[in-house]
Amino acid sequence: MKQLFKTMLLSTLMLALTGCAANYYNVPREVYEKKVRVLGVAPIMLDADSDIRHPEKGEVLKIIREANRKNEKELVEILKGTGEYFSVRFLDEEADQLYADIVSRRERRDDAGIIYTKYFYKPEELKKFIVRHNVDAVMLVTVSGITMLEKIYSSTKMAYLEDNYNNLIMTGQILDADGSLLWEYPNFRQRVLTYVPLLALQYPDFEESRANLTDQVSIKNKSIAGIGRAFAKSESSSGKGARQVSVLYNKQYADMAALLQYFRNPLADRKPEKPAVAPAAATPPGEDSSRLRPPAPAAIQPPQTPPAPQAVPGKPAPRELEPARPLEPGTQLIKEPEIK
C-alpha cells in the first residue's frame, strides 16, 4: 500500500513539473518571445450575423455591444500582469467597422468535440491594421452565437434534456503582420480540452414539466431583462487590482490568461546561490595599507590548569584544601580534625 502511494505521488510530481513548461502557442516559445514584444489588443468585435436565434435579437446585440465596451480594457490589464510582454496596448478603434474591414469569412468548427466559430482575415487589411498601430502582433477577440448539442440537467440532477441549445461564445486569436496564427482560443494544445460558452441564451424548463406532470420539457429563451442582468453582474478582476469586471467576461479572460502565460519549471531554472563576500575597504592613495589596518587581535590562550598533586610513596596524598606550594614563614594552617 505504501509503495502504491509513493508511486502515485511520484507520478503526480513528475506531471506537475513537466506541465510547468507547457507551451500553448502554435510556434516554439523562443520564436514567439523574439517575434512578439509589443502586443496590441483590438476592441472586442461582435459577429452580428452569426447564429443568434433569440426572438429579440436586436436587443441582445445592444446588450453585447455595451458589455464589450465596458469590459474590453480589462483584458489588456490582465495581459500586462502576466509579465510576458514588453508592452500591451489597447488599439482604440470602432469595433463594428474593424470587423467589416478585416474579417473575410468564418467557419463553424468541431475540433475534438469542441464546437466553436473560427475566423479568417484579409491579409492586406490585417497587415495595415498592425503597421498602423506599430505593434508586433494583434489579439482579436470576437463574440458570436452558435447552436450546439448539449445535455443539460435539472437543478435536482434527477432529469436531463439533450437537445440543441443556442449560446453566445467568445473566441480569440493572436496573429502577426504576415497573417501567421500564433495562438488561439479555444486552445487545442492543452492536455484536457475545455471550453465554456460566454452565456446560454436558452434553457430547459424542468419546473414547468414537473408542474404539469409531463415528461415533455420545453426549451425557452431567456428574457432580455435576464440577459442584461447576467452581463451586468460584476466581481473583482482575475488580474491584479480591485477593478470590477463582468462575471461572464472575467471567466473568459481567466481562461485565456491561463493559456497565454508560459509556465516555467521552477526547479530547472534555479541556480545555486553564491555566498556573499564583503568588499575590501579601499585604501586612500599615498597611504600605507599596513598602517591603516588595525592590528590583529592576539590569540586568546585557554587558561592553564595546574597539574594535580601527585602522591609521594610512604606519605598520604595532599588534600585539595592544602596549599600545593610552600607557605611564607609565620603562616598558620587550620587543619580539619580527623575522624577516627
User: What pLDDT was estimated at residue 17?
Assistant: 43
- The one-letter amino acid at 238: S
Using CA atoms, how far apart are residues 235 and 260, in angstroms rounded to an integer? 22
- For 14-25, what is the mean pLDDT? 60
Q: Which pLDDT value is given to residue 334? A: 53
pLDDT tens-digit readout, 289-333: 444 455 555 555 555 655 555 555 555 555 554 455 555 566 555
pLDDT tens-digit readout, 96-105: 999 999 999 9
pLDDT band at 54 (very low <50, low <70, confident <90, very high): very high
C-alpha span between 70 and 62 (Å, rounded):
13
Indicate whether 141 pLDDT > 70.
yes
The pLDDT assigned to 322 comes to 47
Q: Where is average pLDDT lowest: 3-17, 60-74, 304-318?
A: 3-17
Mean pLDDT to the nearest integer, 154-165: 92
* pLDDT in the model for residue 5: 47
Q: Is the pTM of this model over 0.85?
A: no
**pLDDT for the residue 269:** 47
Confidence at residue 83, expressed as pLDDT on a 0 to 100 scale: 79
Residue-averaged pLDDT of the chain: 82
Confidence bin at 81 (pLDDT 50/70/90): confident
DSSP helix/strand/coil, 235: strand
Q: Which stretch of 63-77, 159-173, 231-245 has the lowest confidence by average pLDDT?
A: 231-245
Cell triple for 274: 553564491
- Does residue 52 have a pLDDT over 90? yes
**pLDDT above 90 for 190:** no
Q: Which of 131-135, 186-190, 268-272 has the lowest mean pLDDT?
A: 268-272
Of 99-113, 148-162, 322-336, give the lowest mean pLDDT range: 322-336
Separation between Cα atoms, residue 141 and residue 42, nearest integer Å: 7
Rounded average pLDDT over 28-34: 92
Q: Contact 194/113 with Cβ under 8 angstroms?
A: no
Burial 185-196 (b: 16+ CB within 10 A, else e): bbbeeeeeeebe
Which ranges constitute the DSSP H helices of the chain? Answer: 2-19, 29-35, 57-81, 95-102, 123-133, 206-211, 224-232, 247-258, 289-292
Instruction: Give pLDDT, residue 306.
Output: 56
